[in-house]
Amino acid sequence: MGDTQRVTAAIAASARLCVLTGAGMSAESGIPTFRDAMSGLWSRFDPAELASEAGFRADPARVWDWYAERRAGVRLAQPNAGHRALGEFARRRPGVLTLVTQNVDDLHQRAGNTGAIQLHGDIQRDHWLEPCTRQPGCDAAAAAPGRPPRCADCGNRVRPGVVWFGEQLPPASLLAAEHAAAACELMLVVGTSGAVWPAAGLASQARRAGAQVVILNPALSEIDAEADLVLRGTAAELLPRLLAG
């Protein structure tokens, strides 16, 4: 039995499957990775100038425009065969799959995985830069238009709902991801370089808890050593075959 057949059989036998996806999966749908997106007009900027609270405070309009461009690209992108395979699997075997993603787009959700755990936030959502002091808090979606929008009363600015450099992951999302890693029988790590922590540590956590870990990636990743098996290929190529059973 070849490696692909072994993984297919393991998925079919698993009652608790955790899938961790990274930027490579979105790239197959035409969404550039963070580094690749820093081209053209944006190539002269340091990443910290466009993806940090300090960079936002220094030039809010510039950072807002950068994210407006990225948001437009996400809206145009469509789920690829890998996203659709995961969505179809979740519908076919309810309660088995927990999907954890490092991606900030909504392609998994549009493909049917509405409960995906988004470790790095959601690029299409907004929240206030400063905590709203009102009870209940004001809705950032109701802010006065601008670059960025502001609260018409207090001037609080709106920022994209993503995790920036130097920020902690959303505690509830990280806890849910760690629980899924510790509880799963099988983890698939798809389209990630394994360079971004703490997400990269979920594979070793799953393995320590007794799960089998399989990495799906066209190139080497920094966590290949954590895997029981490594399949070379893209998400759109491999996932429809592996999840079809």
The 10 Å Cβ neighbour count of residue 3 is 13
What was the pLDDT predicted at 42? 61
Is residue 161 a contact partner of residue 126, using CB atoms and an 8 Å limit?
yes
List the structure tokens of 216: 């799906």
Active site residue 120: yes
Task: Enter the CATH code of domain 37-76+126-162.
Answer: 3.30.1600.10
From the candidates 83, 120, 127, 179, give the one annotated as an active-site residue. Answer: 120
Residues of the chain with CATH 3.30.1600.10: 37-76+126-162
What was the pLDDT predicted at 110? 97
What was the pLDDT predicted at 1? 58
HEC sequence for 182-232: HHCCEEEEECCCCCCCCHHHHHHHHHHCCCEEEEECCCCCCCHHHCCEEEC
Domain over 1-31+79-120+168-245 is classified CATH 3.40.50.1220: yes
Residue 73: phi, psi to the nearest 5? -65, -40
- Chunked in runs of 10, what are the mean pLDDT values of the chain (245 residues)? 90 97 95 73 76 95 94 96 98 97 97 97 95 81 92 92 95 98 98 88 96 96 93 97 90
What was the pLDDT predicted at 45? 78
